[in-house]
Every structure is written in structure tokens, then in C-alpha cells.
């Protein structure tokens, strides 16, 4: 009952423009945030379809339910995995089930479609329900090979390494494949749900969109380094950083929101992260000259943003007149952009920082290229690193060194990543090498999967980074430079 009440309450608040779905879900204090988030998003997605079913069956009149409560219950009854409540509501909904199912069937006949998804308005359907599910293997607890073996033994069919983006879509129900850009990332069909799976519950796998794996992967802090995750909760990128560091070094994670930090603490514990230090603190007030941060060379900054890239958070329905909504949106974006610029400029003031990755799950240039441009102008001692030359979607011109991600071109949520690097003689040298063709720059979609695999091997072996002899250090440095070149 609590799940449906909360979900309905959140949908009410979204309609009253009292906050974004993501924030409202986190603020709800509900114990299973993921379950609640999924229910709210999915109900929103099917909202127009459910509304029609409720209208034609006169469900509200029959049951006296509030509209959004009726919507979430109808969603789970007809489109979800069945009602998760008992008592009066379940009895009432079961009483109306055949009428509701009949209304759904009539809609399908009328629209000449066979699947529920085909009833969705085109903009919603194309947006995200076709996205593959991505699973990051948590190398702090297991290995890619062990996870693949485990899943094969469970009846999943392993398809090897993807050669192109097209291999990631249209996977059959039990099939899975290794991603072509990121190591330790497995890709499944859009229907796959691992929330109840042992590997997820034990922290061996992390359910994380591919685009959201980019920031830590690109920052790639070596084992033993000192790293800041500036706006860290709920912590998926923090746990990814810790995995890349092999849990060696110091990972300072800040967040303003105590509730999100407490969720994060649980997540990090489950993921076996031990090298972190969590602080409920405003990153903008962290003193870059503080003794604790004197060796910080890597900063990941993933600040609050509009969330416009998150497919289920794009809510086109607005009761407001269009020009009023546009003005509100513009001033909201301006405020976010100003905040993001302050955070990024602050990150660049840490005295030893060499690399800062800036990311958002926004599709708005105000929060992405414009923030980058402003900070570059104010910080001439930093420049952008050209990231993953073979990635199919770039930042808007002239910021093509940065990456964008989208449902259409990369089969992920909308995302943006930039990496700043302090300019020094050393980094100039690295950057100049980047303009020269190297085998790693060959596009894997052009059929060079082996080259891509070599890079993958090279980029994703945190254990190797733990060697302590001078010779191995040298070798590591060479590899690190090469990593920069290959990105
Ligand atoms: C996009 S979320 C971060 C997601 C996180 N990086 C992850 O991968 O799980 C942004 C976070 O920034 C936090 N935040 C906002 N303003 C902040 C500030 N001034 N200092 C620290 N954290 C802040 C929010 O509470 C929110 O948890």
C-alpha cells in the first residue's frame, strides 16, 4: 500500500510542479527507492494509455480512488509485474481486472497493435523503452569472466564482444553481450531486470546506464591516488572510481544531501568500497588548500542538473501556457548553469589537480558546452582532452573534444562528459600526440574489434596499477599516457 500511496503522491507533486521526479523520489524516505522510481517513471510513461482505460471503464466512479492512485494501481495490474499490495485495494482492483484488461485489449484492436509498448505515443516510445539494460561488473568483488560464467550457467546466452552499436539493440530476452566501448560492462535486452538477482544484491554487479559509466572510466584514477567525487550521492560513480583504484588510495566523496548520503553508504558497503571518506558537505565550501586535499590529482564533478537526459524524466505534459513554461525553464536552466560553473571553477582551483571530469545527465547546452566554455575561458591553464575518438556522438561544435550520449546515437540516456587537464609541458606533449593517428583511434565499428580489446585490456586492469617497483611505475606511466592518447 505504501508503495502506491507514495507513487501517487509523487505524481501529484510532479503535476503541481513541486519538484523533479528524481528529487521527489529521493526525498520520499521510501525504503525501496529504485522500486518507487521505476513505478513512477513507468506510470508516467503509460499515463495517456492508462487515462483512457480509466475513463472508458469509469474506474474512478466505481472505486472512488484518486486519479494518480488509480493510475499506479492500473499500471502494475496491467503493465507491471502484478499488484504488490494486499487488502482492500487488491480486492477492489481484482474485481475490476477483467473490465480493465478488456479495455486494454480493445485499445490494441482499435490501433491494430499487439504489444503494450505500441500503444505509447511515438515520442515516448522512441525515447527510452528500447534502451538496452547495462550491467557494470564490480571488479572489487568479482571478475567479468566469473559473472559471464555465472549467467551462462543460469541459462543466459553469451554473445561475445559487440563490434558496433547496432549489436547492443534487439538482443533476445536471455542474450547478453560485452560492450564495445567500456570494459566490464555487459549489455542485456531492455526487458531484463536484475533488481532481484543474487549478483546485484551481493554487490557483484551494479545496474548503471552506460553513459553514466563514462565519467569514472575516463578519469581513470590510478591505484593509490587521491580523488574527489564532488557531488557523489547516491554513489554509482564513486563505487566505479573505487573499483578503478582497486580500493587503494583516498576517495573523498561529498554531498549536500544527508539522505542521499545514507543511501550511498549502503550502496558502497554492498559494493565492497573501503577507500572512501564520505562527508555531508557543500563542495563549494571545501577548502582546496586544506591539508587533506593537497595530493588530490583527480576530481569527478557530476553536479545537480535538470536531468533532461533521463528519458523517463522528460515530462512533456504541462498545464501551463507554453510561453510561461518556457520562461520558467529558461531561468531554471540559467540558475543550474551558474551553479555548475561555480562547482567546476572550484574544482579547478585544487592546487595539485591534474584532471577534472565534468558530467551531467542533461541534454541542454546551457548545462554542458556553455559551462565548459565559460570555465575554459576563466582557467586558461586547463584544456580539454579529446575523449574516445570512436565515440559516435560529440559535444556541440566547437566542443567536439567532449562527449554527448543519447537514446538514438549511443542507446543510452542523454548525457554529457568533458575532461579538463592541467596544461604543463608533459600534458602538452600528450595532447600533441593525440592528433597523430594511432591504431587505437581506428573506429571499432569499422571492424577492428581486436584493437579495441587490447585497449580495453590496457585500460581496465586496476590490479596492475598496484605494482610498486620503479620499473612498473614507469611502465604504468607510459600506459597512462597511452590511455590519454587513446581516449
Ligand atoms: C547528479 S547527482 C550525483 C549523482 C552521483 N554522481 C552518482 O553517480 O550517483 C548530484 C548530487 O549533487 C548533490 N549536490 C548538489 N549541490 C551540491 C553541493 N553544493 N555540494 C555537494 N553536493 C551537492 C546533490 O545532493 C546530488 O546528490
| pLDDT at residue 454, as a whole number | 21
pLDDT tens digit sequence for 363-380: 999 999 999 999 999 999
| pLDDT at residue 478, as a whole number | 45
111-120, 170-179, 193-202, 382-391, range with the lowest pLDDT: 111-120
Residue among 233, 237, 265, 280 whose CB has most ligand 1 atoms within 8 A, to mutate: 233
pLDDT average, residue stretch 466-478: 38
- Tell whether ligand 1 has an atom less than 6 A from the beta carbon of residue 302: yes
pLDDT average, residue stretch 243-247: 98
In terms of residue numbers, what domain contains 325? 211-486
Atom index in ligand 1 nearest the CA of residue 283 equals 20
Q: Looking at the structure, do residues 199 and 244 belong to the same domain, yes or no?
A: no
Where among 209, 233, 268 does a domain terminate? 209
pLDDT tens digit sequence for 71-110: 999 999 999 878 887 778 888 899 999 999 999 999 999 9
The annotation status of 236 as a binding-site residue, yes or no, is yes
Atom index in ligand 1 nearest the CA of residue 284 equals 19
Q: Looking at the structure, do residues 168 and 38 belong to the same domain, yes or no?
A: no
- Tell whether ligand 1 has an atom less than 6 A from the beta carbon of residue 207: no
- Tell whether ligand 1 has an atom less than 6 A from the beta carbon of residue 76: no
237 CA to centre of ligand 1 in angstroms: 11
pLDDT tens digit sequence for 151-195: 999 999 999 999 999 999 989 999 999 999 999 999 999 989 999
pLDDT average, residue stretch 6-14: 90
The annotation status of 233 as a binding-site residue, yes or no, is yes
Task: Calculate the average pLDDT of the chain.
Answer: 84
Higher-confidence residue: 195 or 439?
Answer: 195
Query: For residue 405, what are the β-bridge partners?
Result: 415
Q: Looking at the structure, do residues 73 and 176 belong to the same domain, yes or no?
A: no
Q: Looking at the structure, do residues 112 and 138 belong to the same domain, yes or no?
A: no
Q: Looking at the structure, do residues 189 and 225 belong to the same domain, yes or no?
A: no
Beta-strand runs (E) in 313-427: 355-360, 382-384, 403-405, 415-422
Q: Looking at the structure, do residues 388 and 247 belong to the same domain, yes or no?
A: yes
The annotation status of 470 as a binding-site residue, yes or no, is no
CA-closest candidate to residue 238, choices 196, 267, 207:
267
Q: Looking at the structure, do residues 306 and 437 belong to the same domain, yes or no?
A: yes
The domain that holds 175 is classified in CATH as: 3.30.70.1170
Where among 120, 140, 173 does a domain terminate? 120
Catalytic option among 178, 305, 312, 361: 361
Contact residues for 442 (Cβ-Cβ < 8 A; gap 6+): 390, 448, 451
pLDDT over 60 (residue 27): yes
Count the Cβ atoms, other than its own, within 10 Å of residue 326: 12
CA-closest candidate to residue 444, choices 481, 392, 379, 387:
392
229 CA to centre of ligand 1 in angstroms: 9
Count the Cβ atoms, other than its own, within 10 Å of residue 327: 12
| pLDDT at residue 24, as a whole number | 80
Q: Looking at the structure, do residues 246 and 394 belong to the same domain, yes or no?
A: yes
- Tell whether ligand 1 has an atom less than 6 A from the beta carbon of residue 237: yes
CA contacts within 13 A on the Cβ side of 412? 27
Q: Looking at the structure, do residues 222 and 347 belong to the same domain, yes or no?
A: yes
What letter would DSSP give residue 140? T
| pLDDT at residue 128, as a whole number | 56
Q: Does 275 qualify as catalytic in the annotation?
A: no
Ligand 1: residue whose CA is nearest its atom 6: 232
20-29, 251-260, 358-367, 383-392, range with the lowest pLDDT: 20-29
| pLDDT at residue 322, as a whole number | 54
pLDDT over 80 (residue 474): no
The annotation status of 235 as a binding-site residue, yes or no, is yes
Residue among 20, 252, 303 whose CB has most ligand 1 atoms within 8 A, to mutate: 303
Give the count of domains, the chain.
3
Peptide bond connecting 234 to the previous residue in cis, omega within 30 degrees of 0: yes
Higher-confidence residue: 87 or 218?
Answer: 218
State whether the Cα torsion 172-177-182-183 is positive or negative: positive
| pLDDT at residue 125, as a whole number | 60
pTM for this predicted structure: 0.72
pLDDT average, residue stretch 209-225: 98
When pLDDT is cut at 50, 70 and 90, the band that residue 119 belongs to is confident
Q: Looking at the structure, do residues 76 and 134 belong to the same domain, yes or no?
A: no
CB 288 within 8 A of CB 349: yes
| pLDDT at residue 127, as a whole number | 56
Residue among 210, 217, 255 whose CB has most ligand 1 atoms within 8 A, to mutate: 255
Q: Looking at the structure, do residues 401 and 362 belong to the same domain, yes or no?
A: yes
Q: What is the DSSP string of 25-75?
A: HHHT--S-HHHHHHHHHHHHHTHHHHHHHHHHHTHHHHH---HHHHHHHHI
The domain that holds 402 is classified in CATH as: 3.40.50.150
State whether the Cα torsion 261-265-266-271 is positive or negative: positive
Percentage with pLDDT > 90 across the chain: 65
pLDDT tens digit sequence for 420-432: 999 975 444 333 3
- Tell whether ligand 1 has an atom less than 6 A from the beta carbon of residue 255: yes
pLDDT tens digit sequence for 247-282: 999 999 999 999 999 999 999 999 999 999 999 999
CB 467 within 8 A of CB 436: no
Atom index in ligand 1 nearest the CA of residue 300 equals 6
399 CA to centre of ligand 1 in angstroms: 24
| pLDDT at residue 123, as a whole number | 61
The annotation status of 447 as a binding-site residue, yes or no, is no
Print burial letters for 139-176: b (CB count within 10 Å at least 16), e (below 16): bbbbebeebbebbeeeebeeeeebbebebbeebeeeeb
Residue for cell digits 571545501? 286
78-82, 343-347, 451-455, 480-484, range with the lowest pLDDT: 451-455
- Tell whether ligand 1 has an atom less than 6 A from the beta carbon of residue 14: no
The annotation status of 232 as a binding-site residue, yes or no, is yes
Quote the longest CA-to-CA distance of the chain. Answer: 77
Q: Looking at the structure, do residues 62 and 149 belong to the same domain, yes or no?
A: no
Where among 120, 154, 180 does a domain terminate? 120
Amino acid at each position: 500500500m505504501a508503495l502506491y500511496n507514495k507513487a501517487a503522491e509523487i505524481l501529484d507533486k510532479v503535476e503541481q510542479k513541486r519538484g523533479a521526479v528524481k528529487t521527489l523520489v529521493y526525498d520520499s524516505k521510501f525504503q525501496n527507492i529504485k522500486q518507487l522510481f521505476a513505478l513512477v517513471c513507468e506510470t508516467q510513461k503509460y499515463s495517456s494509455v492508462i487515462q483512457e482505460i480509466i475513463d472508458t471503464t469509469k474506474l474512478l466512479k466505481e472505486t472512488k480512488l484518486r486519479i494518480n492512485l488509480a493510475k499506479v494501481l492500473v499500471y502494475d495490474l496491467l503493465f507491471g509485474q502484478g499488484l504488490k499490495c494486499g487488502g482492500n485495494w487488491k480486492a477492489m482492483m481484482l474485481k475490476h481486472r477483467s473490465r480493465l484488461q478488456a479495455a486494454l485489449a480493445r485499445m490494441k484492436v482499435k490501433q491494430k497493435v499487439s504489444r503494450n509498448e505500441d500503444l505509447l505515443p511515438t515520442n515516448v516510445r522512441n525515447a527510452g523503452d528500447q534502451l538496452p539494460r547495462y550491467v557494470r561488473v564490480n571488479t572489487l568483488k568479482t571478475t567479468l569472466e566469473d559473472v559471464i560464467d555465472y549467467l551462462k550457467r543460469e541459462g543466459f546466452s553469451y554473445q561475445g564482444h559487440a563490434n558496433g552499436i547496432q549489436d547492443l539493440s534487439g538482443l533476445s530476452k536471455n542474450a547478453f553481450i560485452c560492450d564495445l566501448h567500456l570494459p566490464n560492462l555487459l549489455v542485456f535486452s531492455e526487458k531484463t531486470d536484475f533488481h532481484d538477482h543474487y549478483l546485484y544484491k551481493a554487490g557483484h554487479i551494479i545496474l548503471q546506464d552506460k553513459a553514466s559509466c563514462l565519467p569514472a572510466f575516463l578519469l581513470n584514477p590510478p591505484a593509490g591516488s587521491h580523488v574527489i567525487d564532488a557531488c557523489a550521492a547516491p554513489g554509482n560513480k564513486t563505487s566505479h572510481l573505487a573499483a578503478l583504484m582497486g580500493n587503494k588510495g583516498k576517495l573523498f566523496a561529498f554531498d549536500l544531501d544527508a539522505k542521499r548520503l545514507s543511501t550511498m553508504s549502503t550502496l558502497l558497503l554492498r559494493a565492497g568500497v573501503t577507500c572512501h571518506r564520505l562527508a555531508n558537505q557543500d563542495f563549494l565550501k571545501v577548502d582546496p588548500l586544506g591539508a587533506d586535499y593537497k595530493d588530490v590529482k583527480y576530481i569527478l564533478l557530476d553536479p545537480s542538473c535538470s536531468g533532461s537526459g533521463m528519458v523517463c524524466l522528460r515530462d512533456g505534459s504541462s498545464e501551463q501556457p507554453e510561453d510561461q513554461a518556457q520562461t520558467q525553464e529558461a531561468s531554471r536552466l540559467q540558475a543550474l548553469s551558474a551553479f555548475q560553473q561555480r562547482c567546476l571553477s572550484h574544482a579547478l582551483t585544487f592546487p595539485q589537480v591534474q584532471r577534472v571530469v565534468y558530467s551531467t545527465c542533461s541534454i541542454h547546452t546551457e548545462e554542458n558546452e556553455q559551462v565548459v566554455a565559460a570555465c575554459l575561458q576563466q582557467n586558461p591553464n586547463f584544456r580539454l582532452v579529446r575523449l574516445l575518438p570512436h565515440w559516435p556522438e560529440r559535444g556541440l561544435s566547437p566542443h567536439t573534444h567532449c562527449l554527448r550520449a543519447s537514446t538514438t546515437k549511443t542507446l543510452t540516456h542523454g548525457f554529457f562528459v568533458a575532461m579538463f587537464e592541467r596544461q604543463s609541458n608533459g600534458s602538452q606533449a600528450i595532447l600533441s600526440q593525440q592528433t597523430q593517428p594511432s591504431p587505437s583511434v581506428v573506429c571499432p565499428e569499422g571492424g577492428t574489434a581486436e584493437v579495441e580489446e587490447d585497449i580495453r585490456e590496457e585500460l581496465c586492469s586496476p590490479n596492475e596499477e598496484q605494482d610498486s617497483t620503479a620499473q612498473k611505475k614507469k611502465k604504468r606511466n607510459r600506459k597512462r599516457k597511452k590511455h590519454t592518447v587513446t581516449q
